[in-house]
Amino acid sequence: MIRTAIIEDSQALTSVYKTFLSDSEFDVNMFNSTVSDINRLIKQGGFKLIICPCFPKFQNGPQIVQMIKADPELSNCAFILSTSMQQENVKSEWDLRDIDAILLKPFDKESLIRTLNKTGRTHPQKTRQIPLALIIDDSKAVRNTLATYLKALDFDTRTAADGMQGLKMASELLPDLILVDVEMPVMDGFEFCKKLSKEPTIKHIPTIVVSGTIDETQFRKGFRAGAIDFLEKPVSQPALAAIIESVSVKENFSSTGTTVILSKDGTLSSILRKTLNFLNSSINTCTTLDELETYLCVTTPDIIILDLSESEDKLRVCMRTRTLIGSDSPVIIAVADETDRDIMFQCFKYGATEFIIKPFGRDEVKARIENHIKLKRLQDELVQKNKILESLAYKDKLTGLMNRRYFDKALKDEIAKAQTGNTNLSFLMIDLDNFKQVNDAYGHDTGDAVLKEIASIIIDNVQGNAVSCRYGGEEFCIIYPDTSLVEAIKNSEKIKRFCALKPISSHRIFQTISGGMSSFPETSSAEDLVSDADKCLYKAKKAGKNRIIANIETFSQDS
């Protein structure tokens, strides 16, 4: 089972998720977007997939991602963004490098499971344990020689004596690699490559042309036909091994993410797909700039390849693409004809990262891309680490609750919302009773265990969209947005009761708490919300502890 966390505030959508995934391989756990529920998600841990709505009800979506990824156990989990939007405002809210896939709403069961499967399997398990190569040559001696070489390179092999038979076998076997001779009766190697490129199920297969002569004319014909490389006869095993290593036919677990190609030329798209096989990247193709714009509104790929050869305004395509991305992160590669060399340096000025002239060789493309990919990886790692550090700055390391720095900001924001919306805002200040005696009697390690357990009880029992924080030392606090004092007291009494009833550590410590409560605008002004709660906490301590005292009324339910 694949442990999956789904963050969703809509009860209707929660029900849909549960129904669609009830009999699937996904172990689904539902959470809402409140701070307390996100803390609960982090506490549970072990999730491989997390679905988060684009616009959560209680928190900012990117902030939720940062909170979760700040936890070491969840830092590498895959994030899926659920949204009904295909417009620019998705990008204005999110840095799309934070997410791994998009789930467009409304969705059906099939599209949901397809998205989860695609995202959850970073390293798909191939049913074929040994890669398969198809050898097409009218010479039996050549077929046998190539088969021997490939078997020595840990390939299984099949052979065909002509192009027609080869096409049929390619469709039936779906090999991982095809080697085809140029000079054959009925159908030569170039014609075979052209027909292969027109078949949707097999056009992606890397195809190497075997020829007795490799010159400029042959290279251009091979490029137009869709071949990705040449082997010169007589073929040597080292030369074959070098090509196989370069095209990465064998399974590669180092994925770079997503590549998108803008081109109307199906043959060029096919060549690029095969050439970029070494990236082990998810590759998508757009045929128009409008289609690319729609795609970039919901996804930020790692590599964008722009075929400028058929574009009237080549520089505009580069500039528009970079504007849509809005950052320098993705690698943008411009591909054009030899007649366009004069605009090469202008393309760099207008947003391109690299420029490639057709026809190009696979080694050239690989060399040009690899350096940019390495640099991009370093940049993305730095961005992610900075985000994690920013999130950690708001989190208490010991208890997992938000810290004082976060509290100061959250309280200010929630007061502003309450004033604008004319709603209630209640506040609880908590202090652990006789905590110094715990440290003195059992040591600070036990004291830390008590603090963590009390924080865990708060996370598990705090209501709705409340924000729970460690205020400092043995003090905790809870902000209750849009909550009356009476409602907040009920929840605080529940937390107090659970704290007093649970034995902690091997010493079976029953840790009680005292609390003071205030509420805006019911009992306190915005400026006095914290100080009024603190005064009530002092009264609770003086009254005998293990109780909650509110600003206008005393509630005592000693355990």
Instruction: Tell me the H-state helices in 326-434.
Output: 344-349, 362-392, 404-421
Orientation angle between helical segments 61-69 and 362-392, nearest 10 degrees: 90
Q: What six digits make up the tokens of 410?
A: 């959250």
Asked if 53 contacts 82 with a C-beta cutoff of 8 angstroms, the reply is: yes
Would you list the DSSP string of 84-142?
A: S--SHHHHHH--GGG-SEEEESS--HHHHHHHHHHHH-SSPPPS-SS-EEEEE-S-HHH
DSSP code for 236: P
Q: CA 45, 37, 476, 548 torsion: positive or negative?
A: negative
Give the number of other CB atoms < 10 A from CB of residue 141. 8
Q: Which residues make Cβ contacts (< 8 Å) with residue 517, sequence separation at least 6?
A: 426, 427, 428, 429, 485, 488, 489, 492, 533, 536, 548, 549, 550, 551
Q: Round to whole Å and give the CA distance between 230 and 222.
A: 8
Give the number of other CB atoms < 10 A from CB of residue 249. 22
* Terminal Cα distance for the chain, rounded: 42
Q: Which amino acid, one-letter code, is at 180?
A: V
Give the number of other CB atoms < 10 A from CB of residue 284. 15
Asked if 320 contacts 117 with a C-beta cutoff of 8 angstroms, the reply is: no
* Catalytically annotated residues: 474
- Cβ-based burial of 213 (10 A; exposed 0-12, middle 13-18, buried ≥19): exposed
List the Cα angle 196/239/229 in 5-degree steps.
Answer: 30
Orientation angle between helical segments 189-197 and 163-173, nearest 10 degrees: 30
Q: Round to whole Å and give the CA distance between 200 and 30.
A: 39
Burial 532-545, CB ≥16 within 10 A → b, else e: bbbbbbeebbeeee
Q: Which residues make Cβ contacts (< 8 Å) with residue 518, sequence separation at least 6?
A: 426, 427, 485, 524, 528, 529, 530, 532, 533, 536, 550, 551
Asked if 104 contacts 83 with a C-beta cutoff of 8 angstroms, the reply is: yes
DSSP code for 235: P
